[in-house]
């Protein structure tokens, strides 16, 4: 199998971006990634756009993005895996190189979620479950789905509301260090715990925001990568899986089976273990999601996630630093861009370019954990500088 490396990265400012349309927003990260890779646009054989869509005006975003960025003529498509659309785009671009179709490919994640009103967003995200059974019949909203996980985890393992608020405090701490983050202010534990209730036990500060943003990565085959850069970051393993759209068919609510399966496949492909990971990004759409990710990824035993956050083991200097860019919670969560944004962050970490939030890199291995829906999709990508 051909080796594939990340050779270029780009990232827009996340937040409410009324200053740009979708093509312009995507171009911000594409230009950075192309310049970083030092590659000619005409040599990019495939451009894969990850975007869940529905929030903004374009129904054919891949064509619009490619044309605006001067990439017309390249192979292109748009992929969707809900909140994991970005990682799906990275996987599709990776596949086009491994298959021999092209030596250079690009994955772009983009979403513009603030063009619609809040009630419309609530409906669009609520449809991420089993529409007829959960949304139409029972009126489930997305916070309510994750509230079920939170209550189950609390009842089974003694996890507390304070533990979840600690995740939020950590996210805002690192978001304050990230000039591209949507939220760049620290919060206290008291503020998080005292914030407005959304769906018990989840409060305002337990939830990520609606966001606009884009991110891009340029991938290249081994031979091409070595010509382009002295610091390639290799795609060592990609695992992916899925689960039922209907929560009533899940075996339990204290973790995501798809994430466990995806992680196992990624570790096996990369020939590493959870103990080899230096730094990770985890899908923290809600604070309980990050806690479950610690367990699903094997960073701790089942039921011990709260212990990790209480002891600071997922912060800088801890056992396994997680979401040092602020995560979805503070950096923002433009759905299609998130998985690519995570790959950008881990690439920066492995290159030693993360600045004030740089993790110690001992083994040269980082991990991206990206979930779609309520555990419908799961992608785990392992990157390495060796």
* Nearest Cα to Cα of residue 302 among 256, 270, 258: 256
pLDDT higher than 80, residue 127? no
11, 83, 153, 172: the catalytic one is 83
Cβ atoms of 323 and 172 closer than 8 Å = no
Of 123-137, 150-164, 286-300, give the lowest mean pLDDT range.
123-137
**What is the arithmetic mean of pLDDT over 144-160?**
96
pLDDT tens across 21-68, in order? Answer: 999 999 999 999 999 999 999 999 999 999 998 889 898 999 999 999
- Catalytic, 300? Answer no
**What is the arithmetic mean of pLDDT over 355-372?**
98
Cβ atoms of 107 and 90 closer than 8 Å = yes
When pLDDT is cut at 50, 70 and 90, the band that residue 136 belongs to is low
Token readout for 140 is 């489930």
How many residues are present in the chain? 386
Q: Which residue has the higher pLDDT, 177 or 245?
A: 177
When pLDDT is cut at 50, 70 and 90, the band that residue 140 belongs to is confident
* Mean per-residue pLDDT over the chain, rounded: 95
pLDDT tens across 182-197, in order? Answer: 999 999 999 999 999 9
pLDDT tens across 216-275, in order? Answer: 999 999 999 999 999 999 999 999 999 998 888 888 999 999 999 999 999 999 999 999
What pLDDT score was predicted for residue 366?
99
CB count in 10 Å sphere of residue 42: 11
What pLDDT score was predicted for residue 131?
66
**What is the arithmetic mean of pLDDT over 208-223?**
98
Question: Three-state secondary structure along the chain?
Answer: CCCEEEEEEEECCCECCCCCCHHHHHHHHHHHHHHHHCCCHHHCCEEEEECCCCCCCCCCHHHHHHHHCCCECEEEEEECECECHHHHHHHHHHHHHHCCCCCEEEEEEEEECCCCCHHHHHHHHHCCCCHHHHHHHHCCCHHHHHHHHHHHHHHHHCCCHHHHHHHHHHHHHHHCCCCCCCCCCCCCHHHHHCCCEEECCEEHHHECCCCEEEEEEEEEEHHHHHHHCCCCEEEEEEEEEECCCCHHHCCCCCCCHHHHHHHHHHHHHHCCCHHHCCEEECCCCEHHHHHHHHHHCCCCCCCCHHHHHHCCCCCCCCCCCECCCCHHHHHCCCHHHHHHHHHHHHHHHHHCCCHHHCCCCCCCEEEEEEEECCCCEEEEEEEECC
What pLDDT score was predicted for residue 338?
98
Vertex 349: Cα angle to 316 and 19 (nearest 5): 105
The percent of residues above 90 in pLDDT, for the chain, comes to 88
What pLDDT score was predicted for residue 307?
98
Burial degree of 252 (CB within 10 A; 0-12, 13-18, 19+): exposed
Q: What are phi and psi for residue 31, nearest 5 degrees?
A: -60, -45
333, 357, 369, 376: the catalytic one is 333
What pLDDT score was predicted for residue 303?
98
What pLDDT score was predicted for residue 135?
66
- Catalytic, 83? Answer yes
Helix, coil or strand: residue 274 = helix
What pLDDT score was predicted for residue 177?
98
Enumerate residues 6+ apart whose C-beta is below 8 A from 190.
none
What pLDDT score was predicted for residue 248?
83
Domain formed by 4-116+210-228, architecture? 3-Layer(aba) Sandwich (3.40)
What pLDDT score was predicted for residue 283?
98
* Nearest Cα to Cα of residue 286 among 121, 143, 175: 143
What pLDDT score was predicted for residue 183?
98
pLDDT higher than 70, residue 133? no
**What is the arithmetic mean of pLDDT over 114-140?**
76
Q: What is the pTM of this model?
A: 0.97
pLDDT tens across 69-108, in order? Answer: 999 999 999 999 999 999 999 999 999 999 999 999 999 9
């Amino acid at each position: 199998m051909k080796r594939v490396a990340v050779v270029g990265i780009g990232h827009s400012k996340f937040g409410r971006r009324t200053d740009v349309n979708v093509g312009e927003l995507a171009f911000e990260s594409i230009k950075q990634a192309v310049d970083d890779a030092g590659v000619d646009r005409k040599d990019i054989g495939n451009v894969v756009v990850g975007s869940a869509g529905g929030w903004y005006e374009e129904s054919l975003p891949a064509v619009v993005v490619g044309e605006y960025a001067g990439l017309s003529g390249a192979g292109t498509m748009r992929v969707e895996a809900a909140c994991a659309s970005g990682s799906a785009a990275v996987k599709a671009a990776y596949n086009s190189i491994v298959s021999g179709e092209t030596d250079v490919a690009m994955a772009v994640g983009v979403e513009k979620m603030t063009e619609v009103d809040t009630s419309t967003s609530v409906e669009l995200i609520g449809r991420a479950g089993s529409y007829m059974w959960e949304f139409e019949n029972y009126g489930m909203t997305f916070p309510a789905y994750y509230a079920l996980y939170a209550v189950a985890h609390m009842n089974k393992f003694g996890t507390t509301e304070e533990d979840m608020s600690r995740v939020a405090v950590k996210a805002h701490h690192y978001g304050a260090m990230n000039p591209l983050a949507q939220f760049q202010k620290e919060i206290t534990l008291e503020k998080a715990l005292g914030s407005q209730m959304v769906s018990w036990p989840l409060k305002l500060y337990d939830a990520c925001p609606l966001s606009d943003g884009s991110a891009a990565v340029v991938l290249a085959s081994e031979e091409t990568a070595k010509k382009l850069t002295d610091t390639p970051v290799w795609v060592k393993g990609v695992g992916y899986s899925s689960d039922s759209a209907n929560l009533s068919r899940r075996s339990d609510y204290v973790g995501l089976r798809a994430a466990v399966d995806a992680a196992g496949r990624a570790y096996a492909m990369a020939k590493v273990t959870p103990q080899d990971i230096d730094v990770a990004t985890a899908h923290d759409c809600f604070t309980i999601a990050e806690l479950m990710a610690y367990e699903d990824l094997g960073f701790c035993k089942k039921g011990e996630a709260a212990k990790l956050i209480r002891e600071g083991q997922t912060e800088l200097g801890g056992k396994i630093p997680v979401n040092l860019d602020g995560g979805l919670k503070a950096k923002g969560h433009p759905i299609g861009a998130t998985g690519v944004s995570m790959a950008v962050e881990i690439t920066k970490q492995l290159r030693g370019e993360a600045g004030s939030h740089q993790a110690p890199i001992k083994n040269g291995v980082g991990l991206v954990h990206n979930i779609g829906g309520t555990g419908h999709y799961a992608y785990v990508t392992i990157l390495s500088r060796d």
